[in-house]
Structure 1
Amino acid sequence: MMPAQPDTLPPAQAHARRPHRARTFWGLVLLAGLALPYLAYWWVDSLATERLRAAGAQRLEVYATSLENLLDKYDFVPRMLELDKDVVALLERPGDEALRNGVNEYLEGINRQAGSSTIYVVNLLGRTQAASNWRQKDSFVGDDVGFRPYLKDALRGQPGGFYGVGTTNGEPGYFYAHGIYKNGRMLGVAVVKVNIEELEKNWAQGADKVMLVDANGVIFLTSARAWKYKTLRPLAADVRAQLEHTRQYHRQPLTALTLASDQPQANGTRLLAIRDTGAGLAAAPPRMLAQTRSLAPRDWTFIYLSDLSQARGNARVAFLFALLAYGFLLLLFLLWRQRLRAKEDLQHAYDDLERMVDERTASLARMTQDLSKEVDVRREAEQRLHITQNELFQAGKMAVLGQMSASITHELNQPLTALRTMSDNAVLLFDRGRMDDVKHNLKTISQVVARMGSITGKLKSFARKSNAELEAVSVHTAISNALVLVERRLQLDKVTFQLRIAEADIYALCDSNRLEQVLLNLMTNALDSMAGCPVRRLGLEVTGADGQVRIGVSDSGPGLTDEARARLFEPFYTTKPQGEGLGLGLAISEQIVRDFGGTLRAEQCETGACFVIELKAAQET
C-alpha cells in the first residue's frame, strides 16, 4: 500500500508560501491607497457640480419669471391707445398739426406713467405720426419703420413682439405692437418700446455668468459685457441677410464666441470653455457648467454658466485629504498590528476562567444597555418619520404652488391691469357726467376685487398645514377648491374640462386639505402631459358604491410608457424635462391616499392616462 500523504505542508513549503501571501496583501493595500483618493476626488467633484446645477436651475427660473412679469406688465398699453379718440382722429386726419401736438403730449404723459421708453403711433404705410419723444432731437415722428417685423405682424392683424436695437437713437428695447381699429377697419398701429437692459444689473455676480439668446443664437442680454451681441455659432448667410434687412441689431458685427471646448453631459447640461479674445491663446479659459431654460412664446433661451473652478479645487483638496488619511490609517494599522502581537503573547499568561466569566458578565450588561438604547432610538425614529412625512406633504404642496406661480401671477396681473384701466375710465366718465357708466365701472371693479380675494383665499387654504385626523369630507367641495387653482391654466392652455359627478353630495373618509393636494397634483400632471397635443381634454369622474368612493382623473395626452408605469410611484422619478419637476408629486400623493386607507393607481384607458383614487365612503356629519 502507498503511504498516506501528510495533512500539513512541509516547513520549507510553508515558509516559502508566507512571503507570497505577504506580497499579495501589501499589493492590495497599495491599490486601495491609490483608488481611495481618486474616489474621493470623483465624489466631491460630482457633489459640488450637482449643487451648482441645482442652484443654477433655481436662478434660471427666477430670472425667467422676472423677465416674463416685466414684459407682461406692458402688454395692455398699446391696446389702450385704441380707446383714445384723438389718436384715432389723427390717423384719419394726418395733416392736422394741432391734433398731432395734442396726441404727442398725450403719449408723453402715458409713457411717463407707464415707465416705458417710447410710445408712438404709426400709419398703415409705416410712417410714425406721433411719439412720446417728440420734444427730443432724435424724435421718432416722421420715421419710416415699415421694415420692422413687429409692424408687419401688427398690420397682418397679429399683435407683434420684437427685441431690437433702435435705428434712430441706438437704444435697444422690446417692442409691443397692436393694431388700431375703428368700426372693424385698421387705421394704424400703436407701438410701445420697453427697456429691459436694467435686468442685467440684477443677474449673476462674480464668476458665474448668465445670458439671454434669441432663436438665431445672438446674445442680446448678458451679465458679461464682452459677450453682448456675440453669437453662439457663426451665422449662416441667409440669417445674417435677414437680420440686416430687419436691422434688429443695428450696426452690430455679430461675431461668434470662440469655444475652447463643448462637452454634453448625461443630465442635459454641457461643459463649456469660452475663450477670452483679450487673454490670448496661451491662457486656458475656465470650464463652466451650462444650463438652459427656454422662453417658448418668444423663442428665447436663458443660459446660466456656473464656474467649476471652486468645485475642482474642493475635489483636489478632498484628494489630498484622502491620501493623508489613508497614510494615517496605514500607520495606525501597523501600530495596532504590533501591539496585537504583544497582547497575544501576554494573553496566554493571564487567560484563566475567572477573567472569562468577568468579561462575559460585562458583555451581557453592555448588551442589555445597548438594547435599551436601541428601543429608545427606534421610538424616536418613528416619531421623526411621522414628522418628516407631514413636512414632505407640506413641501409637496409648496412645490405645486411654485410650479403654478407663473399662472397665478398672470391670473392676478390681468385683474390688476383691468382695475387700473377701469379706474382711469371711471375718472373720465365722472368728469363727463356719465354717472350710470361710472356706477357700472365701480360694480365691475367690486366684482374683480371679489374674484381676486377668492383666488388668494383658496391659495391660503391650500397652503395651510393639514390635520392628521380623518373625517367626513365633501368630494364636491374638494374638487371645487382644486379647480379654482387650475382654472386659469385650463383657459390659457385651451383645455376642455369634463366633470361627471352625481348632484347629491358624496362624502369620503379623509383629510380635506390633503385630498385637494392629491387632486391638484393629478390635474397638474395631466395638463403638463398634454402640452403640445392637438386635442386637450381633462376629465374628472366621481362615483360611490359599496362603501367606496371612486375618483377618476383622465387626460388626452400621450399616455404612459411601460417604463413609466413600472416606476410610477418611485420618488424622484419623472418624465418631465430637466428643471420642470422633482418626481415627488405622485409618490407623495400615493402616500397620502394610503394614509387615508385608500389606494391610488393608474388604469388602462383608450387614450391618454387615467389615475383612480379609491377611498372609504363616510356619512355627512
Structure 2
Amino acid sequence: MKAGRGTYLGVDQSSERVRYYVAHAVGGTPVAGVAAVRIEFDRIEADWEKAGERVLVSDASGTVFLSSDASFKYRRIKAALPDGTDELPSGDGAYPVNHSGPIDFKVVEHRGDGRIVQVQTPFGLHSYLYHTMRLREYGWTIHRLSDMATIESDQRDGAIIGAAVSLIAVSALLYLRQRQAALVAARKASAKLSSVVAERTLELRETNSALRSEIEERRRTEEQLRDTQNSLMQAGKLAALGQMSAAIAHEINQPLAAIRTFIASTKVYSDRGDAKKVATNLDLINGLAERMANITSHLKTFARKSEPGKREPVDVERAVEGAMLLIESQIGLSGAAVETNVPHHVFVRGYAVQLEQVIVNLLQNALHAVVDVANPTIRLQVEINNEIVSIRVIDNGAGIPKEHLDQVFDPFFTTKAIGKGLGLGLSISYGIVRDFGGQIRAGNREEGGTEMIIELPIYQPENASIHA
C-alpha cells in the first residue's frame, strides 16, 4: 500500500501448492483497490519430476518451496542456518511444517564451480554433484543435484576390471556433458521464469489502466442511477399526492367550516358574557387546528425529496400510521372498510419515508380496486416468520388479470383509466423494497381479490425501546 506494488510467496490453503503473487495498487490517493496476479509452479515441478531431474528452489530464508523430490519440500538448507542452531525461526507460517529437519549438504569434494555433496534421503545417504544459481531479483536460489551413483559405480567397476583410466575419462566426458546440460536447463528455467514474470507484469499494468477507467465509469453511472432513482421516487410521491389532493382538500375544508361556525358562535357567547361556552368553543377550535397542522406537517415531510444516507431502524407500526394519516380522507370518501393488524416494536432497516411511500402506493391501488365492489374491504396485516417481516395488503376487488401479473412492477404499466395513474407506483415500490434487501410480489386470492406481499429482513436495533 505504501510503494504501490508488492509480491508475496506463499502456499494456497485450498490446494496446498506454492503460489507467487504480484500485486499493484489501483487508483491514486486514496487507493481504490488492489489488482493481483497469481503465478503457479505446478507444471514446472511436474516437468522436473517427469524428466527425473533433482532441482530445488529455496527462498531468501533457505526454505525449499519448489522441488522435483517431495522429500526435500518445505525444509531449510542447513548452510543457510546461523551457526549453533538446528532450525531457523519458523517465520510467518506460510509453508506447511516438514518434520524431517533441515537438509545437510556435506561437501566431500570441490569440482570446478560445483561440489560433490552427500545428503541424507529417505532411501539412505546419497552423493550428488551440486550446483547453485542465485535469482537476485527475487531473492531465490536454484539448487541442482546430479546423481553420482553412476560415476561411483563406474569407478568401482573400473578398479575391478583394470580399466579405471578409460572409465574415468568416459565418466569425465559424461560429467561435462551433464553439467553443460544442467547449466543450459538452469538458464532456460531462469529465463522462462523471468519472461513469465515480465509478461504478467505487463498484463497487470494494462489491466490496471482498464480497471481504473472502468471504476470511474461505474462510479459516474452509479451517481446518475441514484439521481434518477431519487427523481423517480419523488415523481411517484407527487403523483400519489395529486391523487389524494381532492380528499385532502375535503378533509381540511370540513375543519375550516367548523372553525368558522365556532368563531361566529363564540362572538355571540362573548356578547352574552358566557365565558364557559367561549372556553369550550376555543378548545374545539384548537383541536381542529391541531388536526389540520398534523395533516399539513406530514404532507410536507412526505413530499420532501429523499436524500438517502445512512440507513436507520424503521418502526413498521409508525410507517403504517403515517400512511393511514395521509390517505385517511381518501378512505373516508371511498367508503371502504380498512382493517389494520400491526404488532408493536417491529423494525426493519431502511428509510422511514420510503417505506411509508410503498404502503401508501399499495393502499391507493387497493382503494382503486374496490371502487365497484358492494362491500369494499381492505386488510393491512404485518406478520413475523423466520426473521422475515411480511406486510400484506389484501382487498376484495376483481383481482389482476393473469396475463398482467408478470407486468405489474414494470415502469409505466397500468390497468387504470387514462388520467388515473402514471404506472410508477408499483415500479417505485419494487425498487425501494429491493434497496431494503427484501422482495415484493403480487398474487390473486382464491376467494377473490388481490394480495400484495412485502417481505423484509427483521432488524433489532439496540435502542428499539427508545424508538418505540
With structure 2 as the length reference, what TM-score do the two structures score?
A: 0.52
Q: Offset of 1:516 from its aligned partner?
A: 0.2
Q: Offset of 1:510 from its aligned partner?
A: 2.0
Deviations 1:252-303 (A, max 9, x none): xxxxxxxxxxxxxxxxxxxxxxxxxxxxxxxxxxxxxxxxxxxxxxxxxxxx
Q: Offset of 1:439 from its aligned partner?
A: 1.4
Is residue 390 of structure 1 aligned with residue 230 of structure 2? yes
Q: Offset of 1:374 from its aligned partner?
A: 6.5
What's 1:479 paired with?
A: 320
- d(CA) in 1 for partners of 2:219 and 2:267? 68
Is residue 572 of structure 1 aligned with residue 412 of structure 2? yes
3-state SS, counterpart of residue 566 of structure 1 = coil
- d(CA) in 2 for partners of 1:461 and 1:561? 35
Q: What are the equivalent positions in structure 2 for 1:80-91 lying under 5 Å apart?
A: none
Q: Offset of 1:419 from its aligned partner?
A: 0.8
Deviations 1:153-191 (A, max 9, x none): xxxxxxxxxxxxxxxxxxxxxxxxxxxxxxxxxxxxxxx
Q: What are the equivalent positions in structure 2 for 1:143-222 lying under 5 Å apart?
A: none
Q: What are the equivalent positions in structure 2 for 1:29-428 lying under 5 Å apart?
A: 376-428=216-268
- d(CA) in 1 for partners of 2:209 and 2:456? 45
Q: Offset of 1:480 from its aligned partner?
A: 0.5
Q: Offset of 1:531 from its aligned partner?
A: 1.3
What's 1:531 paired with?
A: 371
What's 1:543 paired with?
A: 383
- Opposite residue 514 of structure 1, the aligned amino acid is Q
What's 1:459 paired with?
A: 299
Is residue 553 of structure 1 aligned with residue 393 of structure 2? yes
- Opposite residue 450 of structure 2, the aligned amino acid is A
- Opposite residue 299 of structure 2, the aligned amino acid is L
Deviations 1:586-620 (A, max 9, x none): 00000100011000101332221110010010113
Verify the 8 A CA contact 1:554 1:611 in the aligned structure 2. Answer: yes
What's 1:607 paired with?
A: 448
Q: Offset of 1:432 from its aligned partner?
A: 2.2
Deviations 1:241-262 (A, max 9, x none): xxxxxxxxxxxxxxxxxxxxxx
What's 1:431 paired with?
A: 271
- Opposite residue 416 of structure 1, the aligned amino acid is L
Verify the 8 A CA contact 2:396 2:448 in the aligned structure 1. Answer: yes
Verify the 8 A CA contact 1:470 1:596 in the aligned structure 2. Answer: no
Q: Offset of 1:466 from its aligned partner?
A: 4.4
Verify the 8 A CA contact 2:400 2:444 in the aligned structure 1. Answer: no
Q: Offset of 1:377 from its aligned partner?
A: 3.8
- d(CA) in 2 for partners of 1:499 and 1:529? 18
What's 1:85 paired with?
A: none
- d(CA) in 2 for partners of 1:473 and 1:371? 38
- Opposite residue 452 of structure 1, the aligned amino acid is M
Q: Offset of 1:493 from its aligned partner?
A: 1.3
3-state SS, counterpart of residue 404 of structure 1 = helix
Q: Offset of 1:435 from its aligned partner?
A: 2.3
- Opposite residue 358 of structure 2, the aligned amino acid is V
Q: Relative to structure 1, is the Cα distance of residues 618 and 374 closer, same or farther in structure 2, using a 3 angstrom cutoff?
A: closer
3-state SS, counterpart of residue 391 of structure 2 = strand
What's 2:72 paired with?
A: none
Q: Offset of 1:404 from its aligned partner?
A: 1.0
What's 2:120 paired with?
A: none
- d(CA) in 1 for partners of 2:291 and 2:327? 14
Q: Offset of 1:371 from its aligned partner?
A: 9.2
3-state SS, counterpart of residue 355 of structure 2 = helix
Verify the 8 A CA contact 1:533 1:557 in the aligned structure 2. Answer: yes
- Opposite residue 264 of structure 2, the aligned amino acid is D
Deviations 1:443-481 (A, max 9, x none): 100000010111111112212224243222111111011
3-state SS, counterpart of residue 400 of structure 2 = coil
The structure 2 residue matched to 1:442, chosen from 264, 268, 282, is 282
Bigger proportion of residues as strand: 2
Deviations 1:287-325 (A, max 9, x none): xxxxxxxxxxxxxxxxxxxxxxxxxxxxxxxxxxxxxxx
- d(CA) in 2 for partners of 1:449 and 1:548? 40
Is residue 581 of structure 1 aligned with residue 413 of structure 2? no
- d(CA) in 2 for partners of 1:475 and 1:399? 23
Verify the 8 A CA contact 2:315 2:345 in the aligned structure 1. Answer: yes
Verify the 8 A CA contact 2:240 2:361 in the aligned structure 1. Answer: yes
Verify the 8 A CA contact 2:405 2:443 in the aligned structure 1. Answer: no
- d(CA) in 1 for partners of 2:212 and 2:409? 36
What's 1:492 paired with?
A: 333
- d(CA) in 1 for partners of 2:391 and 2:341? 10
Verify the 8 A CA contact 1:466 1:513 in the aligned structure 2. Answer: no
Q: Offset of 1:376 from its aligned partner?
A: 4.0
Bigger proportion of residues as helix: 1
- d(CA) in 2 for partners of 1:498 and 1:446? 29
- Opposite residue 475 of structure 1, the aligned amino acid is V
Aligned residue pair count: 255
What's 2:438 paired with?
A: 598
Verify the 8 A CA contact 2:412 2:422 in the aligned structure 1. Answer: yes
Q: Offset of 1:369 from its aligned partner?
A: 9.5
What's 1:616 paired with?
A: 457
With structure 1 as the length reference, what TM-score do the two structures score?
A: 0.39
Q: Offset of 1:433 from its aligned partner?
A: 2.5
- d(CA) in 2 for partners of 1:418 and 1:387? 44
Q: Offset of 1:564 from its aligned partner?
A: 2.2
- d(CA) in 2 for partners of 1:545 and 1:563? 30
- d(CA) in 2 for partners of 1:425 and 1:552? 47
- d(CA) in 2 for partners of 1:617 and 1:520? 21
Deviations 1:203-241 (A, max 9, x none): xxxxxxxxxxxxxxxxxxxxxxxxxxxxxxxxxxxxxxx
- d(CA) in 2 for partners of 1:369 and 1:616? 39
Deviations 1:407-463 (A, max 9, x none): 111111111111111101111121123322221111100000010111111112212
Q: Unpaired segments of 5 or more residues in structure 2?
A: 1-207, 464-468
- Opposite residue 337 of structure 2, the aligned amino acid is T
Q: Offset of 1:385 from its aligned partner?
A: 1.0
Q: What is the root-mean-square deviation of aligned Cα atoms in Å?
A: 2.2
- d(CA) in 2 for partners of 1:375 and 1:500? 47
- d(CA) in 2 for partners of 1:371 and 1:523? 46
